[in-house]
Amino acid sequence: MRCIDAALVVVIVITAVEANDARGGVIRLDNSSGALGERLDGIAVTDLGTPSAGPYLVPGFPSLSVLVADLGGAGVSFSANSTLAGMGVNSVGRDEPARFDSLFDEEISLSFSNRVVVHQLDFRHFGQGEIFEFAGAFIQNEDLSDGRTDVFDFVTPWTIEAATPFTMRATVGSIGIEAITLELADQEPVLPNAAVPEPSTLVMFATLGLSCLGLRRRGEPARTRPTKRGIRNRNPKIEIQRFSAALRKCGCHRIDDPSGRRLPIVF
């Protein structure tokens, strides 16, 4: 590949990475097409620590991934369960599958690859007197928006550190969660099983590409501009020698400058 082509490719790669880096949006936990819940649905306690538990890329966030770090429930068989109504844990089929039931100690712990800031949670079936725990924050029914809808807005954005498991569970009642609205708190992507160049690496490649372009130009023959008479630029040193020879031929050893001084001519 020619150097100029390599430099062009580097610039295109940098532009593409910057353009695709989504910083904020909604993570859907139901099992609708393309939602994160569709990928987490059915992960069982026996899958923990295996590739079946993730990490999975989060739809809409090219540099964010999530894995299931832990599951809790009654009996020996329980799994993450997502329906069109939202996400929960299913304990041996004895409870509401798309909810977290405090009666069966159902919970799920997730871990994000990046530090994120959570702004809003969208619940389902959040009844009066029930309490839900999200990453250490305890939310009551009366804390929801105007006490009637199932949306909770954090007054102070809730930060979850990268690679740090956080738990979702109902401490009182039976509650489902449908969506999480968040944004990336930093620009450092940590993708699972995929090499993503850091900004410093991209700068290095860009510098290399531009240097390669410069070396190519340096190796080309020098180009000269034609003069008004249509001939190439002359070598100044040769022109001075010719001028001096002409002066010696006519017997001149000095030349007047505009200030009236006589300047010696050095041969």
For the chain, how many helices (H) and strands (E)? 4, 15
Paired tokens of 96: 């509401």
pLDDT band at 149, cuts 50/70/90?
Answer: confident
Contact 69, 111 (CB under 8 A): yes
Do 184 and 240 fall within a single domain?
A: no
Calculate what percentage of the chain has a pLDDT beyond 90.
46
Write down how long the chain is. Answer: 267
| Residue 102 CB neighbours (<10 A) | 19
Q: Which of 132, 154, 188 is the last residue of a domain?
A: 188
Answer whether residue 214 is part of any domain: no
Contact 131, 173 (CB under 8 A): yes
Answer whether residue 129 is part of any domain: yes
Do 259 and 169 fall within a single domain?
A: no
Distance (Å, rounded) from C-alpha 17 to C-alpha 19? 6
Q: Is the peptide bond before 55 cis (omega within 30 degrees of 0)?
A: yes
Do 239 and 171 fall within a single domain?
A: no
Q: Which of 168, 188, 208 is the last residue of a domain?
A: 188
> What pLDDT sits at residue 231?
45
Among 240, 266, 237, residue whose Cα is nearest residue 252: 266
**Can you tell me whether residue 173 is helix, strand or coil?**
coil
Q: Which of 166, 188, 210 is the last residue of a domain?
A: 188
The mean pLDDT of 96-112, rounded to a whole number, is: 92
Do 182 and 240 fall within a single domain?
A: no
Do 65 and 141 fall within a single domain?
A: yes
The radius of gyration of the chain from alpha carbons, rounded to an integer in Å, stands at: 35
Do 136 and 43 fall within a single domain?
A: yes
Q: pTM of the entire structure?
A: 0.62
Domains: count for the chain: 2
Say which residue, 212 or 144, is predicted with more confidence: 144
Do 175 and 241 fall within a single domain?
A: no
Residue type, 186: D
> What pLDDT sits at residue 74?
78
**Can you tell me whether residue 198 is helix, strand or coil?**
coil
Answer whether residue 38 is part of any domain: yes
- Among 75-89, 149-163, 224-238, the minimum mean pLDDT is found in 224-238
Do 88 and 177 fall within a single domain?
A: yes
Among 216, 201, 219, residue whose Cα is nearest residue 10: 201
Do 258 and 157 fall within a single domain?
A: no
Specify the residue for token string 């410093």.
200
Do 154 and 258 fall within a single domain?
A: no
Q: How far is CA 90 from CA 111, 176, 218, in A?
A: 20, 11, 69
Answer whether residue 220 is part of any domain: no
Distance (Å, rounded) from C-alpha 255 to C-alpha 210? 49
Do 34 and 150 fall within a single domain?
A: yes
Element (H, E) at 180: strand 174-184
Specify the residue for token string 């990490």.
55
Do 246 and 144 fall within a single domain?
A: no
What is the extent of the structural domain holding 261? Answer: 234-267
Q: How far is CA 177 from CA 28, 102, 171, in A?
A: 9, 14, 14
Answer whether residue 216 is part of any domain: no
Answer whether residue 266 is part of any domain: yes
The tens digit of pLDDT for each residue in 58-71 reads: 999 989 999 999 99
